[in-house]
Amino acid sequence: MEAEWKAAWQIHKHEPPPDEVPSLGEMVKIISSLGAHLGRKCDGPPGPKSLSIGLQRVSDFALAWTTFGPDHDIPATRCV
């Protein structure tokens, strides 16, 4: 889903997502970092736990992206 990789990219990189979809390797790094994998030289590849937690977080970010993202105009509401 497009919202998933765009939301993960923007949250991890703090910049707008690129026009082209990033490579699988780049997305695995981003998702595992969202699951607390530090990615140091001595850490080795991300494991199932960091990937699972990262995917759960990406799912939440994608829901927020589709609801409040840049392509959606939410009418301003006033609290009285």
67: Cα within 13 Å, side-chain hemisphere = 6
User: What domain count does the chain have?
Assistant: 1
Residue 53 inside a domain? The answer is: yes
22-39 pLDDT tens trace: 999 999 999 999 999 998
Domain-embedded: residue 79: no
Q: What is the mean pLDDT of the chain?
A: 89
Print the domain residue range for 27.
Answer: 2-68
Structural domain contains residue 74: no
Output the pTM of the full model.
0.79
